[in-house]
Amino acid sequence: MKTCFWEKIDDFQSINEFNRFVGWLNEQVKSGEAEEIPTGELYLEEYAGFQEKWFRHIGSGEIWRLVWPDAPFTGLFERVK
């Protein structure tokens, strides 16, 4: 099993940074390093109502969630399991 080198992002500094990250994540999916999976139950109630997608890192099996920014919230990328 491979190690996942993805890192948690507690907030994105700008919408441009977020969009670049989404582009990078889409490339991970396209190259077979990751796959988008159905979103599970809400991870934390404080993020209820925010748009999010979940991704599995193929090599490690780790599952991560990407939560879209919605001012004043600046977005989030974190490991779920």
- When pLDDT is averaged across residues 70-81 and rounded to a whole number, the result is 92
Q: Tell me the C-alpha distance between 38 and 71, whole Å.
A: 25
Task: Evaluate whether 75 touches 59 at the Cβ level (below 8 Å).
Answer: no
Per residue in 23-57, pLDDT (tens digit) is 999 999 999 999 999 887 655 555 567 789 999 99
For residue 80, what are its two tokens? 């779920």
Chain CA centroid to CA 53, Å: 6
Q: Tell me the C-alpha distance between 9 and 79, whole Å.
A: 10
Residue with tokens 């997608």: 53
For residue 39, what are its two tokens? 């979103």
